[in-house]
């Protein structure tokens, strides 16, 4: 039972059967490699590992200063690995079945107000061709609640202008349809007229919506940079990322009266529990409003 063989087979399983992204594959591989290093330290092979060994492994993660959230992610990767070994009949008993991740507090996501989003958009220099592209990026992120990877991978063939929908391929290769606002259609049109229709597009990148000046698909890093720069110009002190627009999309829909299940579908969440965090964000905003404006609290 060589670790290298098992890990290669595990990665193939995650890629072909689960349809996970390259980033997720790398994360799971690192998690299992941490377990491999620990197992080699205690001179045990995969089939010799027991629940107590795995529990001690989690304790060792704590000892080296890994945060509770990072420990929980490693435990998730290890449990997936042993589930795979059971599925492949490599093991008969799963030692990770009862393994529990550490308790982590539920951190509420950062959310932008409508005024802050408008302020960021107003900082875009529309005299430059990239300005129209950047405005279309912000409108699409906010109006459709996309993950940054979904925005980078968005293709022209996935946009249905007449029907007012975009088809998104999300995590696990799952497909969902998201309606888009008229503002998205308008800004995409401006971007295509001002920049994209006049570009020399690199081979293999013809169908991607958002391109850099060299005619290639925009990267996640570039989109992070664009948003960080606009937030700084707008004087916003919050910790902003492309994902902040996804959080804002969900929170503003909920505050406007949208059904939680509909928001779950549009975000592509597998579990409603993941979507429910936005009810806490909304409740927190209501609490702050009461504390700030209710006359009993102003005395």
Say which of 18, 155, 167, 171 is annotated catalytic: 171
Active site residue 132: no
The verdict on 168 and 205 lying in the same domain is yes
Lowest mean pLDDT among 42-56, 85-99, 246-260, 274-288: 274-288
Say which of 155, 185, 233, 243 is annotated catalytic: 243
Active site residue 246: yes
The verdict on 148 and 65 lying in the same domain is no
Contact (CB, 8 A) for 81 and 32: yes
- Residue 201 has what pLDDT? 95
In a domain, 266, yes or no: yes
- Averaged pLDDT, 247-267: 84
Helix (H) or strand (E) holding 276: none
- Averaged pLDDT, 284-297: 51
CB-CB neighbours of 35 under 10 Å = 24
Report residue 296's pLDDT band, with 50, 70 and 90 as the boundaries.
Answer: very low
Say which of 185, 228, 233, 269 is annotated catalytic: 269
Report residue 282's pLDDT band, with 50, 70 and 90 as the boundaries.
Answer: low
Active site residue 269: yes
Contact (CB, 8 A) for 117 and 125: no
The per-residue pLDDT for range 53-110, each reduced to its tens digit, is: 998 888 888 777 777 778 888 888 899 899 999 998 889 999 988 888 777 656 667 8
The verdict on 60 and 190 lying in the same domain is no
The per-residue pLDDT for range 195-225, each reduced to its tens digit, is: 999 999 999 999 999 999 999 999 999 999 9
Q: Which domain holds residue 137?
A: 114-292
CATH number for the domain spanning 42: value is 1.10.150.130
From residue 37, alpha-carbon distances to 26, 31, 59, 196, 217 in Å are: 16, 10, 14, 49, 38
Say which of 132, 135, 147, 252 is annotated catalytic: 147
- Residue 99 has what pLDDT? 85
Active site residue 106: no
Residue 12, CA atoms < 13 Å, CB-side half-sphere: 8
Number of structural domains (the chain) is 2
Comparing CA positions, the residue from 251, 256, 249, 253 lying closest to residue 144 is 249
The verdict on 145 and 242 lying in the same domain is yes
Active site residue 292: no
The verdict on 203 and 67 lying in the same domain is no
The verdict on 129 and 78 lying in the same domain is no
Say which of 73, 79, 132, 246 is annotated catalytic: 246
In a domain, 263, yes or no: yes
Contact (CB, 8 A) for 131 and 213: no
In a domain, 104, yes or no: no
Active site residue 73: no
- Residue 199 has what pLDDT? 93
φ, ψ for residue 211, nearest 5 deg: -125, 155
């Amino acid at each position: 039972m060589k670790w290298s063989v098992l890990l290669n087979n595990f990665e193939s399983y995650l890629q072909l059967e689960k349809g996970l992204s390259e980033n997720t594959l790398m994360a799971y591989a690192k998690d299992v490699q941490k377990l491999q290093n620990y197992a080699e330290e205690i001179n045990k092979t995969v089939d010799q590992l027991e629940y107590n060994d795995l529990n001690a492994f989690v304790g060792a993660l704590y000892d080296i200063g890994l945060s509770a959230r990072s420990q929980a992610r490693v435990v998730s990767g290890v449990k997936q690995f042993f589930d795979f070994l059971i599925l492949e009949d490599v093991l008969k008993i799963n030692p990770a079945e009862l393994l529990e991740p550490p308790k982590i507090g539920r951190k509420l996501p950062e959310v932008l107000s409508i005024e802050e989003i408008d302020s960021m958009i107003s900082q875009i220099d529309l005299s430059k061709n990239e300005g129209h592209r950047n405005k279309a990026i912000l409108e699409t992120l906010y109006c459709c609640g996309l993950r940054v990877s979904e925005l980078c991978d968005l293709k022209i063939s996935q946009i249905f202008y007449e029907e007012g929908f975009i088809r998104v391929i999300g995590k696990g290769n799952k497909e969902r349809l998201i309606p888009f606002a008229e503002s998205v259609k308008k800004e995409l049109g401006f971007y295509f007229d001002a920049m994209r229709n006049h570009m020399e597009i690199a081979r293999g990148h013809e169908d991607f919506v958002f391109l850099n000046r060299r005619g290639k698909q925009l990267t996640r890093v570039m989109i992070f940079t664009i948003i960080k720069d606009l937030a700084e110009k707008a004087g916003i002190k919050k910790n902003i990322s492309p994902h902040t627009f996804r959080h804002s999309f969900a929170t503003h829909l909920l505050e406007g009266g949208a059904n939680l299940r509909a928001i779950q579908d549009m975000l592509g969440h597998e579990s409603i529990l993941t979507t429910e965090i936005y009810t806490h964000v909304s409740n927190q905003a209501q609490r702050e409003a009461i504390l700030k404006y209710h006359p009993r609290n102003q005395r």
